[in-house]
Amino acid sequence: MQDTWLQDTQLGKKPREGFSSSVGVIAATLGSAVGLGNIWKFPYVTGQNGGAAFILIYLIAALLISAPIMLSELMIGRKTHANAVGAFKTLAKHEPWFLVGVSGVISSFLIMAFYSCVAGWVFSYVFKAVAGTIESTSPQQTFAVFQTLVNGVGEPLFWQLFVLAFTGTIIMAGVSKGIERVTKALMPILFVLLLIVDIRSLTLPGASQGLKFLFQPDFSKISISVILAALGLAFFKLSVGMGTMTTYGSYMGENENLPKTVLTVMLSDTLVSIMAGIAIFPAVYAFGFKPDAGPSLLFITIPTVFSSMPFGRFFMILFFILVAVAATGAILSLLEVPVAYIVEEYKISRRMATLGTIMAIALVGSTATLSTTLLSQMHIFGKNFFDLYDFVTSNILLPLGGIFFAIFVGWRWGFEDMFEVFSNHGRLKNEGLARIYFILVKFFAPVAIALVLLTGLGFIQF
Ligand code: PHE
């Protein structure tokens, strides 16, 4: 960052803000990757799809496809020090590439619409855990509490607004004073909380069955569709395909080793996912419950399980705080994409841009939150609003974005220009790695992602 600040100052421009340290870079980027996906999606999908065998496939998919796309985004961002749209406008003037950035802004908006709804439920559960209202060993009871929440109108809307106001305040504080400072404090807390809950879960009698569910490798479960599921998950998990990483890359300094950052983030994110599985499944099995998917695991089974164990309320509070922490880092990165875009392309103050963004998200997000109640009659393509936003982003916009990021680097940018950024102007001696990366983004990733895209849309069937 230093060099750019210097340049900007010499040109008489106001210096652009950025991350102030390598630790901050890792914290913010990892904060974006770690999210609700680690806690309910990854562990469950792993357990259902062959345990350790699936983790292996996931790692390969993350390493060969998601990580290269993430690196492409970071490089495009750092090269231009501009938002997702501005970055393409700088690198490919008068060409339609900026539309990739526009698609990113739209994606982040739509993901926020449903993500802030679920994050709202999580935040409300922190308070419910403290108050003791979700403390019950009867699944019927915890089910009833969850139903009352999601079938309400005022309560879920209030919590969604709460999340937006909370994260919006952090965004307003700025890139290094807001995002970097908060994620730097939150990431270690998340890790310690996970460790505590892991130890509690592992020391319960009968925990080993849950470990078996999570880890026992079963290669017979691996099929084409499981491989595609791993690929899709690796994509969403690392927040790629929608300009988040372009935006964060634009705040990184010239001395950050970007390939190393990507590897560190990817491996740490996978570790968090595995640790989340260890927190959940041994406990679930120890009390004779069956693992379930999505909302019912997190909001119905988990409270019941924790209520059944000694010091359950304490661990339940810790658990929901850690989920809220995970969601916060992801939301910050989602918000930053439109905010950076508005600030830079329309020269609007950060404060106003953030305010406008969260108000607009509150409006669109309320249609997701009310999609099972007031708006339950409204369906588009046979889906309610919540599912529609999820489907359009995860199954269409993110993979499409990913393909274009890869194609841009592989076919439009070219090796020489790319390598300048990859190697920090030749200071890092990593040409071998750069060649492997280049082949991956030029040929392998676009084809593999296209397969996932077409399968997800039902054009190809296995
Ligand atoms: N990676 C986040 C998660 O696992 C989700 C996310 C996707 C965040 C895209 C930002 C951008 O929950």
Provide the pLDDT confidence category of residue 451 given band limits of 50, 70 and 90: confident
Sequence length of the chain is: 462
> Tell me, what's the pLDDT at 331?
97
Spacing, Cα 50 to ligand 1 middle (Å): 24
Which has more pLDDT, 43 or 269?
269
Decide if 245 contacts 74 (C-beta within 8 A): yes
| Residue nearest (by alpha carbon) to ligand 1 atom 10 | 239
Provide the pLDDT confidence category of residue 1 given band limits of 50, 70 and 90: very low
End-to-end Cα distance, the chain: 47
Domains, the chain, in order of start with CATH, read 34-456 (1.10.4160)
Decide if 65 contacts 231 (C-beta within 8 A): yes
Q: Of 61-70, 238-247, 262-271, 386-395, which range is least confident?
A: 386-395
Answer yes or no: is pLDDT of 12 > 60.
Answer: no
Decide if 229 contacts 311 (C-beta within 8 A): no
Dist. CA 121–CA 155, nearest whole Å: 9
Percent of the chain with pLDDT over 70: 97
Dist. CA 389–CA 400, nearest whole Å: 15
Ligand 1 neighbour 27 (Cβ under 6 A) = no
Ligand 1 neighbour 333 (Cβ under 6 A) = yes
Answer yes or no: is pLDDT of 295 > 80.
Answer: no
Provide the pLDDT confidence category of residue 67 given band limits of 50, 70 and 90: very high
Looking from the CA of residue 42, the nearest atom of ligand 1 is: 4
Looking from the CA of residue 38, the nearest atom of ligand 1 is: 4
Pocket test for ligand 1, best of 105, 167, 237 (most atoms within 8 A of CB): 237
Pocket test for ligand 1, best of 69, 107, 239 (most atoms within 8 A of CB): 239
Q: Which residues are CB-neighbours of 390 under 8 A, at least 6 positions away?
A: 114
Residue 58 one-letter amino acid: Y
Token pair belonging to 105:
């802004």
- 141-199 pLDDT, tens digit each: 888 999 999 999 999 999 999 999 999 999 999 999 999 999 999 999 999 999 998 99
Answer yes or no: is pLDDT of 333 > 70.
Answer: yes
Cα–Cα distances in Å, from 384 out to 41, 158, 186, 372, 392?
21, 21, 34, 8, 12
Ligand 1 neighbour 330 (Cβ under 6 A) = yes
pTM (whole model) above 0.75: yes
Decide if 422 contacts 434 (C-beta within 8 A): yes
Ligand 1 neighbour 38 (Cβ under 6 A) = yes
Dist. CA 421–CA 427, nearest whole Å: 10
Ligand 1 neighbour 273 (Cβ under 6 A) = no
Dist. CA 449–CA 403, nearest whole Å: 6
Spacing, Cα 32 to ligand 1 middle (Å): 6
DSSP single-letter state for residue 16: P
| Residue nearest (by alpha carbon) to ligand 1 atom 7 | 239
Ligand 1 neighbour 398 (Cβ under 6 A) = no
Which has more pLDDT, 431 or 292?
431
Token pair belonging to 448:
């593999």
Ligand 1 neighbour 39 (Cβ under 6 A) = no
